[in-house]
Amino acid sequence: MAAMTTFLEDFSQGLKQGRYVIDSLVNLGFRNDGFDLAFWSHFQFTYTDQLSIEFHVEAIENTCRVAREARVLTLLKSCGGTSPHLEQVVKTLQARGSRVDIRQITNEFQRGRHKLISVFG
Protein backbone atom coordinates (compact mmCIF):
# COMPACT_ATOMS: atom_id res chain seq x y z
CA MET A 1 0.00 0.00 0.00
CA ALA A 2 2.88 2.37 0.77
CA ALA A 3 4.33 1.90 -2.73
CA MET A 4 0.95 2.55 -4.33
CA THR A 5 0.37 5.63 -2.19
CA THR A 6 3.81 7.03 -3.01
CA PHE A 7 3.20 6.50 -6.72
CA LEU A 8 -0.25 8.08 -6.67
CA GLU A 9 1.02 11.09 -4.74
CA ASP A 10 3.88 11.55 -7.22
CA PHE A 11 2.13 10.73 -10.49
CA SER A 12 0.64 14.10 -11.44
CA GLN A 13 3.83 16.05 -10.75
CA GLY A 14 6.05 13.28 -12.13
CA LEU A 15 4.07 13.22 -15.37
CA LYS A 16 4.57 16.99 -15.78
CA GLN A 17 8.30 16.60 -15.06
CA GLY A 18 8.71 13.70 -17.49
CA ARG A 19 9.34 10.91 -14.95
CA TYR A 20 6.31 9.02 -16.29
CA VAL A 21 5.49 8.40 -19.93
CA ILE A 22 2.15 7.24 -21.25
CA ASP A 23 2.72 4.81 -24.11
CA SER A 24 1.57 1.51 -25.61
CA LEU A 25 3.29 -1.78 -24.80
CA VAL A 26 2.93 -2.99 -28.37
CA ASN A 27 4.35 0.21 -29.87
CA LEU A 28 6.78 1.71 -27.38
CA GLY A 29 8.23 5.01 -28.52
CA PHE A 30 11.69 4.40 -27.08
CA ARG A 31 14.83 3.65 -29.05
CA ASN A 32 16.13 0.11 -29.39
CA ASP A 33 18.27 -1.04 -26.46
CA GLY A 34 17.65 2.22 -24.61
CA PHE A 35 17.22 0.53 -21.20
CA ASP A 36 18.88 -2.25 -19.26
CA LEU A 37 15.64 -3.32 -17.56
CA ALA A 38 11.92 -2.85 -18.10
CA PHE A 39 9.66 -3.97 -15.27
CA TRP A 40 5.91 -3.98 -14.93
CA SER A 41 3.27 -5.65 -12.83
CA HIS A 42 -0.47 -6.02 -12.52
CA PHE A 43 -1.18 -5.83 -16.22
CA GLN A 44 0.49 -8.53 -18.28
CA PHE A 45 -1.33 -11.85 -17.69
CA THR A 46 -3.72 -10.25 -15.19
CA TYR A 47 -6.22 -9.43 -17.95
CA THR A 48 -6.06 -12.79 -19.70
CA ASP A 49 -9.77 -12.68 -20.44
CA GLN A 50 -9.45 -9.40 -22.35
CA LEU A 51 -6.01 -9.72 -23.97
CA SER A 52 -4.96 -12.36 -26.50
CA ILE A 53 -1.87 -14.53 -26.51
CA GLU A 54 -0.66 -12.50 -29.49
CA PHE A 55 -0.97 -9.26 -27.51
CA HIS A 56 1.05 -10.74 -24.62
CA VAL A 57 3.81 -11.94 -26.97
CA GLU A 58 3.92 -8.67 -28.92
CA ALA A 59 4.03 -6.57 -25.74
CA ILE A 60 6.90 -8.59 -24.28
CA GLU A 61 8.85 -8.66 -27.54
CA ASN A 62 8.45 -4.91 -27.99
CA THR A 63 9.62 -4.36 -24.43
CA CYS A 64 12.65 -6.54 -25.13
CA ARG A 65 13.34 -4.34 -28.16
CA VAL A 66 13.84 -1.32 -25.91
CA ALA A 67 15.34 -3.12 -22.89
CA ARG A 68 17.93 -5.85 -22.48
CA GLU A 69 15.62 -7.62 -20.01
CA ALA A 70 11.86 -7.46 -19.50
CA ARG A 71 10.47 -8.55 -16.14
CA VAL A 72 6.80 -9.21 -15.57
CA LEU A 73 5.46 -9.60 -12.06
CA THR A 74 2.08 -11.19 -11.60
CA LEU A 75 1.49 -14.22 -13.75
CA LEU A 76 -2.02 -14.72 -12.41
CA LYS A 77 -5.40 -13.76 -13.82
CA SER A 78 -7.32 -11.01 -12.06
CA CYS A 79 -9.67 -13.60 -10.56
CA GLY A 80 -6.78 -15.80 -9.38
CA GLY A 81 -5.07 -18.82 -10.85
CA THR A 82 -2.22 -18.89 -13.34
CA SER A 83 -3.02 -17.32 -16.68
CA PRO A 84 -3.86 -19.96 -19.29
CA HIS A 85 -1.82 -17.84 -21.75
CA LEU A 86 1.41 -18.20 -19.81
CA GLU A 87 2.58 -21.55 -21.20
CA GLN A 88 1.88 -20.61 -24.83
CA VAL A 89 3.45 -17.18 -24.45
CA VAL A 90 6.62 -18.74 -23.03
CA LYS A 91 6.77 -21.35 -25.82
CA THR A 92 6.25 -18.71 -28.50
CA LEU A 93 8.93 -16.41 -27.09
CA GLN A 94 11.39 -19.31 -26.81
CA ALA A 95 10.63 -20.46 -30.37
CA ARG A 96 11.43 -16.94 -31.55
CA GLY A 97 14.81 -17.00 -29.82
CA SER A 98 14.18 -15.35 -26.45
CA ARG A 99 15.46 -16.75 -23.18
CA VAL A 100 12.63 -16.99 -20.66
CA ASP A 101 13.05 -17.61 -16.93
CA ILE A 102 10.24 -17.98 -14.43
CA ARG A 103 11.28 -17.78 -10.81
CA GLN A 104 9.91 -17.45 -7.32
CA ILE A 105 10.23 -14.11 -5.58
CA THR A 106 10.34 -13.56 -1.85
CA ASN A 107 8.18 -10.47 -1.59
CA GLU A 108 4.51 -10.84 -2.44
CA PHE A 109 2.91 -7.57 -3.42
CA GLN A 110 -0.43 -9.36 -3.40
CA ARG A 111 -1.32 -12.73 -1.92
CA GLY A 112 -0.43 -15.59 -4.26
CA ARG A 113 1.54 -13.39 -6.61
CA HIS A 114 4.99 -14.76 -5.98
CA LYS A 115 6.39 -15.52 -9.42
CA LEU A 116 8.23 -13.38 -11.90
CA ILE A 117 9.02 -13.92 -15.55
CA SER A 118 12.23 -12.54 -17.05
CA VAL A 119 12.62 -12.38 -20.81
CA PHE A 120 15.87 -11.68 -22.59
CA GLY A 121 15.28 -10.93 -26.27
- CB 109, CB 89: distance < 8 Å: no
Class of 2-120 in CATH: alpha beta
More confident residue, 13 or 115: 13
Mean of pLDDT over the chain: 88
Cα–Cα distance measured from residue 107 to residue 99, given in angstroms and rounded to the nearest whole number: 24
pLDDT at 81: 76
Query: pLDDT class for 109, splitting at 50, 70, 90?
Result: low
Other C-beta atoms within 10 Å of 32: how many?
9
Per-residue confidence (pLDDT) for residue 42, from 0 to 100: 75
pTM of the complete model:
0.84
